[in-house]
Structure 1
Amino acid sequence: MSIITKKLIALDLDGTTLNNDGKISPQTKTTINQAVKAGCVVSLVTGRPNRISENFYDELNLNTPMINFNGNLGILPHQQWPREYQYTIDKEIVMELLEKSQELGLSLIAVEGRNLFLANHGLKSGFGFFPSTLKTNQILSQQSLKDNPISITVEVKPELKAGLIDFIKNQFGDQVEVSPWGGPHPIVEIATKGVHKSTGLKFLADYYGILQRDIIAFGDESNDATMMAFAGTGVAMKNANSQIKELADDVTEYTNENDGVARYLQEHLDLAVNQ
Structure 2
Amino acid sequence: MIRLVASDMDGTLLNSQKETGRGLKGVIRTLRNRGVLFAAASGRSRGSILSYFDDMPVTVIANNGGAVYLEDGTLLFTGEFPYEKARPVMEAARSASYMHLVLIGVKDTYVQMDEPEEHKIFADFYFNKKVRFVPSLEQVFLTDQIVKISISTGANRQNENRGMKFMQQFADTFSLVLSGDGWVDLTRKGISKGYGLEQVCRHYEIAMEDTIVFGDYLNDLDMLRLTPNSYAMANAHQEVKKACMNVTRFTNNEDGVVRELTNIFGLE
TM-score (normalised: structure 2): 0.83
Whether the 8 Å CA contact 1:110–1:140 is kept in 2: the answer is no
Which among 44, 63, 66 is matched to residue 60 of structure 2? 66
Asked whether 1:110 is paired with 2:108, we answer no
User: How is 1:40-79 mapped onto 2 (pairs within 5 angstroms)?
Assistant: 40-58=36-54, 61-62=56-57, 64-76=58-70, 79=73
Q: Supply the RMSD in Å over aligned alpha carbons.
A: 2.8
Question: 2:79 matched to which residue of 1?
Answer: 87
Superposed CA offset, 1:43-70 (max 9, x none): 11112111211112326x12x4311011
**Take 1:250 and 1:134, find their aligned partners in 2: how far apart are those partners?**
39
Whether the 8 Å CA contact 1:89–1:176 is kept in 2: the answer is no
How far 1:134 sits from its partner (Å)? 5.7
Structure 1: which 5+ runs fail to align?
none
Whether the 8 Å CA contact 1:236–1:248 is kept in 2: the answer is yes
Identity %: 23
How far 1:197 sits from its partner (Å)? 0.9
**Take 1:133 and 1:7, find their aligned partners in 2: how far apart are those partners?**
33
Which among 176, 179, 191 is matched to residue 177 of structure 2? 179
Asked whether 1:209 is paired with 2:205, we answer yes
TM-score (normalised: structure 1): 0.81
Go from structure 1 to structure 2 and tell me whether the alpha carbon gap of 1:108 and 1:269 turns closer, same or farther (over 3 Å shift): same
Question: 2:227 matched to which residue of 1?
Answer: 231
Question: 2:15 matched to which residue of 1?
Answer: 19
How far 1:103 sits from its partner (Å)? 3.3
Go from structure 1 to structure 2 and tell me whether the alpha carbon gap of 1:257 and 1:120 turns closer, same or farther (over 3 Å shift): same
**Take 2:232 and 2:265, find their aligned partners in 1: how far apart are those partners?**
17
Whether the 8 Å CA contact 2:214–2:232 is kept in 1: the answer is yes
Go from structure 1 to structure 2 and tell me whether the alpha carbon gap of 1:263 and 1:179 turns closer, same or farther (over 3 Å shift): same
Question: 2:112 matched to which residue of 1?
Answer: 120
Asked whether 1:222 is paired with 2:214, we answer no
How far 1:245 sits from its partner (Å)? 1.0
Give 1 or 2 for the bigger CA radius of gyration.
Answer: 1
* Letter paired with 1:57: F
**Secondary structure, aligned partner of 1:265:** helix
Equivalent residue pairs, number = 259
Which among 124, 129, 134 is matched to residue 126 of structure 2? 129
**Take 1:177 and 1:22, find their aligned partners in 2: how far apart are those partners?**
26
Ranges of 4+ aligned residues in structure 1 off by more than 6 Å: 157-163
**Take 1:175 and 1:224, find their aligned partners in 2: how far apart are those partners?**
20
* Letter paired with 2:241: K
Structure 2: which 5+ runs fail to align?
none
Question: 1:150 matched to which residue of 2?
Answer: 147
**Take 1:144 and 1:49, find their aligned partners in 2: how far apart are those partners?**
15
